[in-house]
Structure 1
Amino acid sequence: MAGTGRSSRSRVSSSRDGIDGDAVPLRPTPNFRPQRGSRGRGRGRNQTSIGTFNVDLKVLLGLSAIAFFAVLYLIINLMTHAEQAQTPRVVTPFPAPKLMDLPQFQGEHKESLYWGTYRPNVYLGIRARTPRSLIAGLMWIGIKDGRYFMRHVCQDSDDLSKYGWAQHDGRSFGHQVIVDQDMNLGTSFLKSKGEDSGYGGDWAVQIDVQNHKSRGNEEASRSAHLFFYLADEDGNTLNLGGDTLDIHENPLLASGSRMDIGSWQLHLKSLDDLEVHYAGFKTPHIHNLSDLVQENLGLQVRKFGRLQLPDTSVDSPNILVFQISARAPFRTDVAFISGTRLESSRVEERVSSLTGTSLTNQLKDKQREFDTKFEKSFNLVDKLDSESIVAGKAAIANLLGGIGYFFGQSKIAVSGDMLPGSHDNSILYWPAELYTAVPSRPFFPRGFLWDEGFHQLLIWRWDTHISLDIIGHWLDLMNIDGWIPREQILGVEALSKVPSDFVTQLPTNGNPPALLLALRDLVHGLKKNKFTAAESDAISSFVERAFVRLEAWFQWFNTTQSGKEVGSYYWHGRDNITNRELNPKTLTSGLDDYPRASHPSKDERHVDLRCWMLLAADCLHSIAELFEKENKSAKEYGATVKLLSDFEVLNQMHYDDAYGTYLDFGNHTEKVRLVWKETMTGHNYATRELVREVLESPKLRLVPHIGPVSLFPFIGRIIPADSKVLEKQLDIISNRSILWTDFGLRSLAKTSSLYMKYNTEHDAPYWRGPIWMNMNYMILSSLYHYSRVDGPYREKARTIYDDLRGNLIRNVVKNYHKTGFFWEQYDQKNGKGKGARVFNGWTSLVLLIMAEAYSS
């Protein structure tokens, strides 16, 4: 400040130059007082004194402010660094612009996807793509063996004959058919955007109840009980339309207001004679809504002997449930109208446009639009019979209808001491949203990383913008190390379907980067000008921004999953101390119990992961070239592609002459078995358990188990078209004693020592024989490729391709029409659907097989 003082006084002194009279001293003497009568000088001195003080004060204030902000900046930085130091690296987001912040995902695109059937875990559930939404859904009472059962959450124990989307466009329309014992329930969803609508527009649901038993049957005339509900996750109050609900006098069921959509109203209309009752609840726990309704109904039955809601509500309810009862058949329409201003004349007009004949006609138009788009996208007419086309439509409709929106925090395992406030060695990921398709509505109604890559092979062909939106959500879940949690269990509804032991994700474990299958297709299509101008712009901007995240993902695999030798990789996370598993599982590979080396070690080399890394390097190399990234990037990825596609190096690492195919490498012995062992408990009780017994020491060798893993170099098209090795792969594929069946290819050779063997007392064979559609699709894709390139085995590849394609289509279509569902896997002996039913994930790839639309 001394320098500043000198400067101020110098300026004052300079201002006095040329003024007549006594000079103003630079530094006043002690006890200096201006002389009376010397006003000029006195005022001059006073002015100089005041002027100097004013200048000093301004400077002081300015510098003080600068100093304050500098200190504040320092404090904030110190706090940020301290916070970062306390936050484990594993839950630190990747430091790059988010893909979902791209302009293409804002505006009209975002609003057009705001409302949807984004709750795949329930039979019919509607919500918005926002963390805390107004949600809607349907329940009904089913009767089985004379007992009542509430239907709401998709579950196999309901034993429905059929349910699923017959048509769904992923955006504004869907039609679903549900068969529950003697009742047929049709649910249709339609979204509409008018100039008066609130954000996201209006929507309607049409519910059509039919009884398919004969009129002479007594149950044919019984009442059906539906329960349509609204629930506000933000806890906002929902207002009833009236104390008594008479939809013919007043169709308004409920109203309310939200920040996102403005004021809203829910209306119910029907030409049939309906009885409507209601109940209002207040609870933050939306996931157990079925229990609330059941308990309420049970109380009414016990008290009054009637199966109806009590027409009462708690104060300020955030949940309203409306019971709609009538004798089947009947039809009813529910219309949701939103907007900041709801004028009665316009509301009535908008309700009329979303109910009755108008709604029915719009739904028929949407069905025709779906059929037209289906044919344009997949071109199946004149290729397949009508039964196959019906199944193909169900495949894409159920995949699109199974897209969900989730918000929450993944649970991540961390090493070291237990974290403060935690009951275990885990921590929560940052709050995140995920828009994703799901493998199975009743069994796996959440996001799975490697499944999603196969889902997108279909979805990008139907709607490129939806596909990019989904892939972008997944890539935005990447942490600072380039890791993405492989299973996403976000929100209470998703958590309610997962056993607690399977919730925590391990940051050391990966999952196949199958999203790159779709991205590679999109990039190749971009190079060949296969897309419209709008699609090309969207793909280009997306891939360019995604590049830095894809690089980080590649580097995470390249560093954490690398093997001892250059160009070798192995899936980390196998249990090397287990004494219960016949062969330690490799869950991270996606192939679960597919047999690997009997004794997990750092010496392992997994041929499938090597090929996934080739896919990743090739995809990044293509993007780097397309956008003229630094030559360094293109060269580095090009060098990796050259290394991993080197046929001789691959053969040295993984090829076995005796088997004529590619095998994993590791510390292995075939002489392992499960035996019953008797042990004594602390209370001197004898118990028997099945434990692993090793009869010889393992040694480093190629692991003699043949299956899809062995065919990954074939899938990756690394094998030259004129190589004898290619012929041997074709022989293995077509050999009935190894992989071939009349229904598709087995997931493990019949000659394997672990073929159809239990892995523990309770772990039935999973990837040890049954037929899986994703692996069959990838193998079929390469058969198609080799049948179209010059080489001595071209015709052989074509014959095998035609036979395998026919077998797969015939079996999946037959099962669909017989059971009403797609299945997780298919039995290799008789072709019957196995595992999870309503598996509309990668089993939907049968549609691409029908269309002969394969990955690049």
Structure 2
Amino acid sequence: MLKQHKLLYKFLIVLALLFIISNSQQEQNFDDIQVVDNSWGLYKPHLLFCVTQRSLNPINFGLIYANQQINGIHQNVKNNLRWKFGNKNDHMFVDYISNNGLDFAEQKIVDSKMNVEIQTVFVKNEEQQWGINLQIKNQGDSQNGVIVYLYLTSSTYESNNNIKQKILIDTFEDNQPIKLEIEHTKKSILSDYIEIVEVNKQDQPSLFELKLLSANLQETWDMQKILYNNIDFNGNLENSLKMQTDPSKEEEQNHCVGVSDQSIRECSKKRKQSLKRSKQNHNIAILKITNPSRNNLNFFIRFQNSTITQRQLNYTQQNDTLSNQSIKQKQKIISSFQDSSYFENIYVFEQLTKLKKDKFKLDLKQKFGYEKEDLIQSTISNLLGGIVFYHGKIVVRNSLMKNNEYKTVFSASPSRKIFPRAFLWDEGFHDSIICVWNEILCKQFIYSWLQIQDVFGYIPREQVRTTEISIMVPDGFRSQDSYEANPPTLLLPILQITQGRKNISFLQKSFRKLEKWFKWFSKTQSGLDFHNKDKINRIMLNEQLPPHYRWQCKGYCKDGNFMGSGLDDYPRQDPLVISKQHLDLQSWMIFFTESLETLSARLNYKAKQTSYKKFKEQLKQQLMNEFLDRKSYLFKDLGAKVFNNTDEQFVTHLGYITTYPLIFNAIKNNTYELQQILDLLYSKEHLWTDYGIRSLSLKDPLQGTGDDYWRGAIWMPLNYLILRSLKLYYFQNEKAKIIYHELRDNLIQNVYKNWKQSGYLYETYNPYTGQGQRGYPFNGWTSLIVLIIKQDFE
């Protein structure tokens, strides 16, 4: 009998899985905003400068630099390579001056230790051609100056991908622009080209070394390691081709030594032919640039892709011009197209840069207003400078699905320096800003996150999908748990774009994903113990669960820290009292239900609208019945005694959690419950400071203890949500209006003051001094300051 029950159980599991997968396969894709399109951009924010593609097999072009002398002491160049923006680079100031997130970015790097200042300008056109102006100023000893390495690599994100891209030398000759070719297949007559030109080299041309290499396509991302293994103590490329573009030198001193004048031309011709085509399948090119005689280096780099060439070729073929031509003749015609590049020279590029920059500033004023323009420009530029693209699989524990599914991530990120990867609950705040800036880009980010969702509705909260990302993440955060949630902040930007006919298709496709996500929350984040077979059985049998909620954790919730809540070490329990039901999650689910109600109305789903409205009212009633402490008339987490789970009592800690019913407009205006929350917010003995709302009451015994992450610090996302809710209440509530205006002014003045002093936004701000602290630069959700300035809380 027991054996029959087990067989029946397995059969039901399989049946349920087949049903879920079948429904998933029937869902529509977001074809109108396809993400993987080979578009070029700066999608590796942890690197100081790297142009790459939104592609599963991207080409990458980037910068590494070093200095032979630091503080007058000769250095081992191998140990002083600068490539990425990491925690140890406190001597570096890295800042996007302008960046529209699409086709224009201007960046400044100041390295005080290396005595180097670098400026990069990137401009792209609609044909996916691009140009770069790279200026390097050596502020130290010019006789032992900066060494610049430029690299070009072919790569892939998938282990079973056998791509045929090959990097070749097209031109590497004295007094000529350096030209590298990217050949995509052996049979193709079309190639992409990278051309590198030194600007203003009349006084003393630079010295160049070039080396082609081969490496595993999944490892070419680690260019610092590859370069380390291919240079000597002084930074010279081993076994490289050398060129000195100095017209004063005799030609025979360059490459053709010991031959007669008559044979020099033949020698040069053979050398050119040998460099033109290589029999080896190289996928890396490294160019070393030095100039001991000059402090300033200036290079113009342009990329000519085969897309426009293909279009021109097709047009020509339609007119039968090439129909009877040989391959060599076709290549010659194609070459003439490529020579007429959109980025013809540095002067044309500079004009395009000026136009892009002027338009960027004008768009900022139109979309974000004129208050604190300098802060807004820096904030938006560096938020967009944190865009990431990568593709891979993630380790998910407790999942009924296999952990080998590759997914693509296209998203903003919290910080180039400490968190250059995608986080779920951060992204909703990022996109609330980006939707104001560029709605199409915003929808692409939302699309990417919703496509990550598995068949049950689960979305991993932290996207650690490649080795390149994984090595920057502590071990305990690399894997995810299919029962651990994260606040559904994606609803915020989705609600922003509910208006307008053009968004109906996007909303319809999003709605099905959101419903699945909502059901996953309801089934997994209940107040019951979820890590047991009984719970899994109930999910698979689609059994209705009680409508109250508790954040689940990876395994056990260590020290009462519910990381999935996003509030990490915020205290959720008292001595001998365990956390049972969570006020913030109950409030998020009220907001989730209300959002689905709003979307149902927008999409004319009448029955769904009625159903969600009814469920929302049930959750609100439960909020009043179970989370309101009738002694203090404040809302609190519900706990239970360790040795008697039926003996319930309220958790005593007051802070951000206490404000959630206000944040999501879950209580009526001008009620005693609302008044108590407003009093708590405005009390200096509890949450009020001159710099923003602190995360935990000043009177709390755990204030400032332990890691002191969410135990007192001022966090921008919660202050933003509080302001957003106060504005809903303040038209009929004078105290809400007073708090709103004072809080807004405090936040703006403090963030602006810190930014003026350091040039950075910070992860948190000190509640006693207002000083920025923890991670920086932190242009993730701290960038919400621009919406606070704009007073945009839609």
Q: TM-score range by the shorter chain?
A: 0.7 to 0.9
Identical columns (%): 26
Q: Contact between 1:448 and 1:486, CA under 8 Å: does it hold in 2?
A: yes
Q: Deviations over 1:681-706 (max 9, x none)?
A: xxxxxxxxxxxxx9x99952111111
Matches within 5 A, 1:500-579: 500-523=475-498, 526=499, 531=500, 536-537=501-502, 539-563=503-527, 566-573=546-553
- 1:287-308 CA distances to partner (integer Å, 9 max, x unpaired)? 32101112322x2x3xxx5645
- Given that residues 277 and 310 in structure 1 are in contact (C-alpha distance below 8 angstroms), is that contact kept between their aligned partners in structure 2? no
Which residues in structure 2 correspond to 1:250-649 (within 5 Å)? 250-257=177-184, 262-271=190-199, 272=201, 273-284=205-216, 285-297=219-231, 299=232, 301=233, 307-308=236-237, 310-311=239-240, 315-326=280-291, 327-339=294-306, 340=310, 343-350=334-341, 352-353=343-344, 355-379=345-369, 381=370, 384=371, 388-414=372-398, 427-523=402-498, 526=499, 531=500, 536-537=501-502, 539-563=503-527, 566-573=546-553, 583-598=559-574, 604-629=580-605, 631-646=606-621, 649=622
- For residues 597 and 338 of structure 1, the distance between their equivalents in structure 2, rounded to whole angstroms, comes to 59
Structure with max Cα Rg: 1
Could you say what secondary structure the match of 1:604 adopts? Answer: strand
In the other structure, the counterpart of 1:673 is: none
Could you tell me which amino acid in structure 2 is paired with residue 337 of structure 1?
Q
Give the corresponding residue for 1:172. Answer: 103
Tell me, in whole angstroms, the C-alpha distance in 1 between the residues paired with 2:178 and 2:26: 47
CA 1:494 to 1:830, structure 2 compared with 1: closer, same or farther past 3 Å?
A: same
The aligned runs of 1:644-793 (5 Å cut-off) are: 644-646=619-621, 649-667=622-640, 700-758=648-706, 764-787=707-730, 789-790=731-732, 793=733
Structure 1 residue 651 displacement after superposition: 2.7
Question: How much has 1:264 moved relative to structure 2?
Answer: 0.5
SS of the equivalent of 2:305 reads: strand
Q: What secondary structure does 2:396 align onto?
A: strand
Letter in 2 for 1:543: L
Please tell me the residue identity of whatever aligns with 2:582.
Answer: H
Tell me how far apart the structure 2 counterparts of residues 463 and 324 of structure 1 sit (CA, whole Å). 38
Q: Distance in 1 between matches of 2:285 and 2:117?
A: 25
Moved more, 508-517 or 803-812: 803-812
Task: Tell me if the contact between 1:414 and 1:427 (Cα under 8 Å) persists in the aligned partners.
Answer: no
3-state secondary structure, aligned to 1:162:
strand
Could you tell which deviates more after superposition, 227-236 or 736-745?
227-236
Amino acid at match of 2:287: F
> Is 1:191 aligned to residue 155 of structure 2?
no
Question: What TM-score results when the alignment is normalised by the length of structure 1?
Answer: 0.75
Equivalent positions of 1:776-815 (< 5 A) are 776-787=719-730, 789-790=731-732, 793-794=733-734, 796-815=735-754
Query: What are the Cα deviations for residues 730-752 of structure 1, in whole angstroms up to 9, with x where unaligned?
Result: 21111111111122111111111
Per-residue CA deviations over 1:232-259 (Å, capped at 9, x if unaligned) read: 115645444358454x324313442369
Which residue is equivalent to 2:48?
123
Shift of residue 220, structure 1, vs aligned partner: 5.8
Q: Give the deviation of 1:165 after TM superposition.
A: 1.6
Query: What is the match of residue 8 of structure 1?
Result: none
Report whether the alignment pairs 1:844 with 2:780: no
Conserved 8 A contact 1:599-1:698: no
Q: Does 1:158 align with 2:131?
A: no
**Aligned 8 A contact 2:435 2:496 in 1:** no
Corresponding residue for 2:24? Answer: 95
Preserved CA contact (<8 Å) 1:746 1:772:
yes
Shift in CA distance, 651/445, structure 1 to aligned 2, threshold 3 Å? same
Question: d(CA) in 1 for partners of 2:21 and 2:206?
Answer: 54
Give the paired residue count: 685
Output one character per residue of 1:22-45: Cα deviation in whole Å (capped at 9) or x when no partner: xxxxxxxxxxxxxxxxxxxxxxxx
Structure 2: give runs of 5+ residues left out of the alignment.
1-9, 157-162, 242-277, 314-330, 529-544
TM-score, reference length from structure 2: 0.80
SS at match of 1:407: strand
SS of alignment partner, residue 497 of structure 1:
coil
Contact 2:574 2:652 in 1 (8 A): no
How far is 1:92 from its partner? 6.2
Relative distance call for 1:843 and 1:651 in structure 2 (3 A) is same
* Cα offsets for 1:135-174 (capped at 9, x unmatched): 2211111565544521112202122431132211121111
Does the C-alpha gap of structure 1 residues 308 and 623 become closer, same or farther in structure 2, counting only changes over 3 Å?
same
Tell me, in whole angstroms, the C-alpha distance in 1 between the residues paired with 2:198 and 2:610: 66
TM-aligned CA distance change 1:309 to 1:595, over 3 Å = same
Partner SS, residue 141 of structure 2: helix
**Aligned-partner Cα distance in 1 for 2:95–2:422:** 19
Q: In 2, distance between residues paired with 1:92 and 1:268?
A: 50
Distance 1:261 1:802 in 2: 64
Deviation at 1:598, TM superposition (A): 4.1
SS of the residue aligned with 1:701?
strand
Moved more, 842-851 or 495-504: 495-504
* 1:39-50 paired onto structure 2 within 5 Å: none
Write the deviation string for residues 543-575 of structure 1: whole angstroms up to 9, x where unpaired: 112221111111111121123795421111276
**What displacement does 1:667 show?**
2.2
Q: Structure 2: which amino acid aligns with 1:347?
A: Q
Change (3 A) 1:545 1:390: same
Query: In the alignment, which of 132, 144, 153 is matched to residue 57 of structure 2?
Result: 132
Counterpart-to-counterpart distance in 2, 1:494 and 1:587: 20
* CA distance in structure 2 between the partners assigned to 1:546 and 1:257 by the alignment: 36
Write the distance in 1 (CA, Å) between the matches of 2:57 and 2:122: 21
Q: Over the residues paired in the alignment, what is the CA RMSD in angstroms?
A: 3.1
